[in-house]
Amino acid sequence: MDRFDALILEAIQANNRLTAEALSQIVCLSPDACRKRLAKLRAEGYVEADISILDPQKLGRGLMLIVEVTLNSERPADLDLFRSRMRDAPEVMQCYYVTGNSDFILILSAVDMADYERFTRRHFFAEDNITRFKTSVVMDRVKVGFSFPLETKG
């Protein structure tokens, strides 16, 4: 990946709907060169997905929660089962297997606390392999996104 590729990736992280013409103005390459480079970057797996970040308040899911989950067993089958359940849970926006005091960190949305309680009953209390979970309620979305800093020198 060279400087032009990094500039293209940096630009589409901020707006994945940029046209090749708009990218060419940012990157200082022709639209065709930008189109080809972006297609190559996608084919090589640099771009995992094109997503939109939605406003949870407007969708009626304004309660955002960060949940630390600790399992009784970290046997591969148990980890895979928990991963699968979290992938399938529409409320779970992000799920990370982590080191430290807990095994997983979840970021999820709920309509309200009653909705979150139903989630905990389905996914935590009904599961024998959950030792504990600790919930933090998000008070303010200070920064939301998935952008990575990219080296654009060279």
CATH of domain 3-43: 1.10.10
What is the CATH code for 63-137? 3.30.70.920
Q: Where in the chain is the domain with CATH 3.30.70.920?
A: 63-137
pLDDT of residue 154: 58
For 91-103, the pLDDT digits (tens) are: 999 999 999 999 9
Q: pLDDT for 29-79, tens place per residue?
A: 999 999 999 999 999 999 999 988 899 999 999 999 999 999 999 999 999
pLDDT at 153: 63
pLDDT for 146:
87
CA dihedral 59, 60, 66, 70 (to 10 degrees): -100
The pLDDT value recorded for residue 81 is 96
- pLDDT exceeds cutoff 90 at 10: yes
Domain with CATH 1.10.10 in the chain: 3-43
